[in-house]
Amino acid sequence: MALSVSQRTSAQRFYATALLVFSVCAAVLVIATAVAAPALVPLVLGSDYGETAGILWLLVAAQLVGGAYYLVAIGLNISERTGDISRATWLAAASNVVLDFVLIPTFGYTGAAVATLVSLIVAAIVVWKRSRAVYPIPYNTAAILRIWFVALGALSGWAILVGPARVAVIIAALAVVAIEAIRAGTLRELRWSISFLRSQDPAVSP
């Protein structure tokens, strides 16, 4: 669907909205995962896996960053610069291997999860920079970065804090994400995108 609208007027706005909406949803999902994991992991996988609940949010965050990676790569796909995507993928793999050697001996499976997350973040940044050079998309970059930083930063705090401080960090993070979503006009842009997809015309008025 993403590529099918690439020739339509305002396609860039649609792609920008897709990343914004995805980022808001991703932030809420990864925060919810961290909060719910201690109860859900033993329930679903058994008590033997209870200690892995603390890193589940890292794995979920890594997968969500991977989703953002494909969204920011849309410009390279449209421009048929898939070689840049391949190189970014190889960079992520190489970074992951290097970080595994550095982190796993000290931090075990937590280090492996961090290595995966960081390597995917590196790949997403590289693809974003290459994509915007060949197919500029008006992302609300500041809002998107704040949403991701707040979510990942809050969860880092969740991992090391105890007691009421953990709850306070999560509530503050959700509040900031909500504020950023409102300030960025996420619902307005989402409604516009739905109209854009439903329309058979080359453009849809805001």
The rounded mean pLDDT for the chain is 88
pLDDT of residue 205: 44
pTM of the predicted structure, to 2 decimals: 0.88
Answer whether 75's CB lies under 8 Å from 20's CB.
Answer: no
Tell me the average pLDDT across 123-128: 93
pLDDT of residue 140: 94
Residue 202 pLDDT more than 90? no
User: pLDDT tens digit string along 10-51?
Assistant: 899 999 999 999 999 999 999 998 888 888 877 777 777 667
The angle, 0 to 180 degrees and rounded to 10, between the axes of the packed helices 109-134 and 53-72 is: 10
Tell me the average pLDDT across 106-115: 92
